[in-house]
Structure 1
Amino acid sequence: MAETFDVIVVGGGPGGYVAAIRAAQLGLKTAVVERKHLGGICLNWGCIPTKALLRSAEVFHYMNHPGDYGLSAEKVSFDIKKVVERSRGVAKRLNSGVTFLMKKNKITVIDGEAKLTAATSVSVTKDGKPVGDYAAKHLIVATGARPRNLPGLEGDGKLVWIYFEAMVPEAMPKSLLVVGSGAIGIEFASFYRTMGAEVTVVEVLPQILPVEDEEIAAHARKRFERQGMKVLTGAKVLGLKKGADTVTATIEDAKGGKSEITVDRVISAVGVVGNIENLGLEALGVATEKGCIKIDGFGRTNVPGLYAIGDVAGPPMLAHKAEHEGVICVEAIAGLNPHPMKKEQIPGCTYCHPQIASVGLTEKKAKEAGYAVKVGRFPFTGNGKAIALGEDQGLVKTIFDAKTGQLLGAHMVGAEVTELIQGFVVAMGLETTEEELMHTVFPHPTLSEMMHEAVLDAYGRAIHI
C-alpha cells in the first residue's frame, strides 16, 4: 500500500523545497522527491555558485587596479582550480543547509526519480530500481528546467560548454565564444573576460540582454566593449567545426556577411526548457504550452489535485519567482486565499560587471501598452557614494504613468544595483506613486539616493544634475 501524505512535491529546487517548508509550517504532512541535489540547479549549478565565481572575478578586477584607490600590488594572479573549488564549496554549504531545513521541518525526503501514476500519486525509482509508491491529496510538480540545445550547438562537455562545464573549467581558456546574451550568457562572458580571456558574444536579436530596457542594455554594451569584450548583435552562428582543442565558428552578421572565428571553447547559453518529459503528464492529459506546464495564478493545472511551480511552469524562469510561486500554491491548497502571482512585479537581476537590475515595464513596453509616460534618469556620476567607491559609471531610470503617477518600471545598470532594485519592487507592490517616493527620505551617502533622484528627475525636480 502506498505511503500517503497531504502534499508531495516533485523536485527539491528553490520552488520545491520552499513549497515543502511552507506546507510543513501549515501542518501538512509533506514529502519531497528529489533525484539528484536538494537545492536544484540554482543552488548547485546556477544562481549561487556563479555568484561565487563572479565575486572572485570582482576581487581580481580590483586587485588589478590598485592605483585607483591609492594602493599598490605586484604579480597579481589567480589559480582557477582554487576559484572553482571555492565556488563548489559555497554550493555544498548551501546544499547542506537545505538538508538541515528538511529535517527541521520534519519533511520526508525521497531520493529518486518520480513518475506520476495518477494526478495525486507517484512511483519513485533510483537507478532503475523501485524505491516505492506514494500518494497525496495534493501533488506539486517542481522539476525545473535544463539548458536549451539548438541543432549544431549541442554541448559536448569538452569544446562546447553549457553552464555545467562553464562553472568548473579545469584550465582557463584563452578565448571564448558565448552564444546568447541573456543573463546566463552575459554573466559567463563577464566572468571569463574579467579573468583575462578574449570573449566574443553573439546575439541573434538586435539588442543584448533582450528583456532589458533599451537604454540600459545600450549602456551595458558600451561598458562591456570598453572592457575588451566583442559583441555581435543581429548575428547567428551557422555552424561549428571542432578541432583537437579549438572550435571554429561560422557567424552570419546582421547584413548577411559571413566570417569565421576560432576559439578555445564555446558556451551555449540560448535559454532553458522545462523538464516535462518522462513524468507521465501526457497520460493524465496535463495541458502544456511551449514546453512548460500551464497553470493559473495559484499553480493549479487543468487536472484537479495536480499543481506546478517554478521553471517547469513557465517564464520568467527565476529562482525567486519559483519560491514565491511555491508559497502561493501551498497557501491556496491550505485555504488561506493568497494573492495570485503578479509577474509584472518580479525583479530581474544580472550579476555581470556592471550589474543590471529591473522591474516592471521598459519604456518601450509602457508606450506600447498605451501609457503616456514620465521618464526619470540619474547617472552614477552625480552620486557621492558611487564616486567614493570608484564606481561612477551607471544609470538609474524610472518610468511613471503621466496621468496617475503610478510607478510602471525601474531599470538600473551599475555597481550593486541588484541590491537596490528591491526598493522599487516594494514601492510597486504597495502601489506607491511618485509623491510618496519624492517624500521618502533616503540616507546619505548611499547609492540609493540615485533612486530618489531618478524619481525627482521624472518630474523635473532632480537636485544633483
Structure 2
Amino acid sequence: MSSEFCRNVIIGSGEGGKYLAWHLAQSGEPTMVLERRWIGGSCPNINCLPAKNEIWSAKVADLAHHARNFGTITGPVSIDMEGVRRRKREMVEALVAIHVNKYKSTGAELVMGEATFVEPKTIAVRLNDGGQRTIAAERIFLNLGTHAAIPPVPGLQESSPMTHIEILELDRLPEHLIVIGGGYVGLEFAQAYRRFGSKVTILQRAAQLIPDQDADIAEELQRILISEGIDILTSVEITQVKGHSGKQVSLAVKTPQGEKEINGSHILAAAGRVPNTSGIGLELAGVKLTPKGWIQVNDRLETTAANVWAIGECAGSPQFTHASLDDFRIIRDNLAGGNRSTRDRLMPSCLFTDPQVARVGLSENEAKNKGIPVEVARVPMASVLRTRTIGETSGFMKALLSPADGRILGFAMIGAEAGEVMTVVQMAIQANANYTVLRDAVISHPTMSEGLNVLFSAVKRSKG
C-alpha cells in the first residue's frame, strides 16, 4: 500500500500533543494527529475533569447532608447517580466539541484510528470507521499516555475490577466500594463515593497514604477520611480476590495485625499507571524503552530515534496534565531554536480530596534525604480566618525556608482551596523571593491566601 506524507505526525491527542498540533498547524506546518479513541486525551474524557466534576457533585451532597450546620433545614437527602453521571457526560460532550472545533479552526488533521509503526517514520493506521492509511512523516511526536495498572493478585483480573474509566460511568451507588491504592485516583474517588453514600474501604500497600507527601500531611488526610467513615488499611498485601466486581467480591489480605477477609460489592483498581508503549512497533521506529516500558528521552524530550520526540506520561514526565502542557512548551521552543530542558522544573501537585492537598518545591522528606538544611514554619488552617467563615478548619500549611537567606524552598498545604494558595507561593519561589515578600504583602481579607501572612509571620529568625 502506498503511503501518504505529512511533515508532522503526533500519535495521541492528549494535553501536550494537541497543543503541539494546534501550534504547528497554525504556524503553517502540515500536521496530523492520530487518536484511537479520546479526542483531547484522557483529561477531558475519562480522568481529571470528569473526576473533578463528580467530586464536586459529592461536595454538594456532603453540604446537603450537613445543611443544618449552616442554618438550612432540608428534608431527606438522596443521591441520583444517573443525574451525577448525566452532569458529567454533558460536560465531557461540551469539551469534546470544543476540541473538534479547535482542530477545524487550526487546520490540524485529526485521524481516528489505531497507529502502529511498520518501519522508521512510517505508521499504519487502522481507521475506526474501516480501512487503513499509511503515513510517512519527517517528524513524529509520541503522546501515548498511560492506562491503569491491575496488580498481579490472584483472581483480581478475573474479578473485572473498575478503573477510573468505569467508575465514572456508574449509574448506581456501590453498596461497598473497595479501593486498591491510596494515591491520587483512589483517594479522590474513595471520598466522593463515601459522600454519595457507599461504604468505602481503602487498601494501601505502602505504610502511608500518598507516599510522595510528608508523613504529617498523609496522617492529617487519613484522620479526615476516617472521620468521614472510610475504613483505611495500610501496609496491606492482597493475596486473593474472589467474585465479580459489581456483584460480590471477597479479598483475602495480610495486615500487620494478621490476616483478614474483606467483603464488598465493587473494586476500584487505583494502584498506579502503565505506559501505552507496547504493541505499537516502537522497536521498528528505533525508539528505546526503559525496563518498565517508559520511553527513553533526554532532557529535551528527544527519544533514541532521530526526529522523534515523546510527550507527557509515556516519556516518564510527572503524571499531571500541567506537566504534559509544559512538555509541549519545551518541544515548541526547541523546534524554534531554543534550549529548554525538563531539568529542575518547579512542578506543583494538587490532590482534589476535600480538603485539597497541594505541594510545590522541596518537601521535608526530600530536604532530609538530600541533606539540605531548612527552617520550617507551620500554622493550622484554623488560624486562617476565612476557614472560620466557611466552617472548614481542618488541616495546616507549612513552608520550608533557606536558613541562609530566607528564600522559600517549598510549600505544602492540606486545607480548603489549597491548590489556589499554593500557586501564590509557587510564583514567589519562581521569583526566588524571600519569605518576607509574602509575610508583608497586603492580601485581601478574608481570603484563604491571607493565611500566607499568618504562616510567614510565624517564622522565627534572628534577621529579616
The normalised TM-score by structure 2 is 0.94
The residue aligned with 2:349 is 348
1:453/1:120 Cα in 2 relative to 1: closer, same or farther (>3 Å)?
farther
**What do the CA deviations read for 1:10-48 (whole angstroms, capped 9, x no partner)?**
001112112212223443221111111211122111001
| Residue of structure 2 in register with 1:93 after alignment | 94
Matches of 2:154 and 2:294, distance apart in 1: 22
1:151 matched residue in structure 2: 152
Q: In 2, Cα distance between the equivalents of 1:245 and 1:176? A: 11
Deviation at 1:152, TM superposition (A): 2.8
- In the other structure, the counterpart of 1:366 is 367
Aligned residue for 2:304?
A: 302
Of 235, 238, 250 in structure 2, the residue corresponding to residue 248 of structure 1 is: 250
1:80 is displaced (CA, Å) by: 0.6
Between the aligned partners of 1:131 and 1:155, the Cα distance in structure 2 is: 36
CA displacement, residues 205-263 of structure 1 (integer Å, 9 cap, x when unaligned): 111011112211111111011111111111121111116921111111135x1011110
User: Taking structure 1 as reference, are residues 406 and 287 closer, same or farther at Cα in structure 2, changes over 3 Å only?
Assistant: farther
Instruction: Output the amino acid matched with 1:312.
Output: C
Deviation at 1:95, TM superposition (A): 1.1
Q: Map of 1:8-23 to 2, 5 A cutoff?
A: 8-23=9-24
How far apart are 1:118 and its partner, in Å? 4.0
Listed one character per residue, the Cα deviations across residues 354-386 of structure 1 (whole Å, up to 9, x for unaligned) are: 211111221111121111111111221111211
SS at match of 1:292: coil
Aligned equivalents of 2:225 and 2:343: distance in 1?
Answer: 32
Which deviates more, 292-301 or 119-128? 119-128
Percent of residue pairs identical: 28
CA distance in 2, matches of 1:420, 1:157: 44
TM-score with structure 1 length normalisation? Answer: 0.94
Contact 1:153 1:268 in 2 (8 A): no
Aligned partner letter, 2:187: I
Q: Distance in 2 between matches of 1:128 and 1:153?
A: 37
Q: Counterpart in 1 of 2:443?
A: 442
Secondary structure in 1 matching 2:284: helix
Tell me the residue number matched to 1:58.
59
Give the C-alpha shift of residue 428 in structure 1.
2.4
Q: Indicate conservation of the 8 Å contact 2:440/2:453, yes or no.
A: no
Structure 2 counterpart of 1:440, which letter?
A
Counterpart Cα distance in 2 of 1:414 and 1:278: 43
Distance in 2 (CA, whole Å) between partners of 1:38 and 1:154 is 33
Work out the CA distance in 1 between the residues paired with 2:214 and 2:294.
26
1:297-354 Cα shifts (integer Å, max 9, x gaps): 221111110000111111411111111102211221232x153224651111111122
Amino acid of the structure 2 residue aligned with 1:441: V
1:408 equivalent to 2:419? Answer: no
Q: 1:367 to 1:112 in 2, by over 3 A?
A: same
For 2:21 and 2:72, how far apart are their aligned partners in 1? 49
Amino acid at match of 1:197: S
Cα pair 1:153 1:160 within 8 Å, conserved: no
Paired letter, 1:246:
Q
Counterpart residue type for residue 374 of structure 1: E
Q: 1:197 Cα deviation (Å)? A: 1.1
Letter in 2 for 1:34: E
Look up the SS of the partner of 2:299 in the other structure: coil
Q: How many residues align?
A: 459
CA distance in 2 between counterparts of 1:343 and 1:53 reads: 34
- CA distance in 2 between counterparts of 1:153 and 1:60 reads 36
Distance 1:158 1:23 in 2: 45
Structure 1: gaps spanning 5 or more residues: none
Q: Give the corresponding residue for 1:281.
A: 282
Aligned-residue offset at 1:418: 2.0
- Distance, in Å, in 1 between the alignment partners of 2:285 and 2:63 is 55
The 1-side partners of 2:308 and 2:88 are apart by 36
Query: 1:38 & 1:112 partners in 2: Cα distance?
Result: 11
Cα 1:134–1:459 change in 2 (3 A) is farther
Note the alpha carbon deviations across 1:264-315, whole angstroms, 9 max, x for none: 1111111111100122111233221122101122211111100001111114
Once the two structures are TM-superposed, the CA of residue 174 in structure 1 deviates from its matched residue by 1.5
Q: Distance in 1 between matches of 2:155 and 2:295?
A: 24
* SS at 2:213 equivalent: coil
SS class of match (1:143) = coil
Alpha-carbon distance change, 3 to 456 in structure 1, aligned in 2, over 3 angstroms:
farther
Letter in 2 for 1:249: L
Letter in 1 for 2:439: M
Q: Say whether the 8 Å CA contact 2:317–2:324 is kept in structure 1.
A: no
Deviations 1:112-158, CA, capped at 9 Å, x for gaps: 11122344332211259543222332110001000112123777697
Map 1:84-233 → 2, pairs under 5 A: 84-127=85-128, 130-152=131-153, 160-233=161-234
Q: Secondary structure of the equivalent of 1:59?
A: helix
Cα separation, 2, equivalents of 1:157 and 1:107 = 41
Cα distance change on mapping 1:78 and 1:376 into 2, 3 Å:
same
Give SS of 1:293's match. Answer: coil
Matched, 1:396 2:408: no
- What stretches of structure 2 of length at least 5 have no aligned partner? none
Counterpart of 2:328? 326
2:8/2:140 contact within 8 Å kept: yes
**CA distance 1:343–1:86, change in 2 (3 Å):** farther
SS in 1 for 2:123: strand
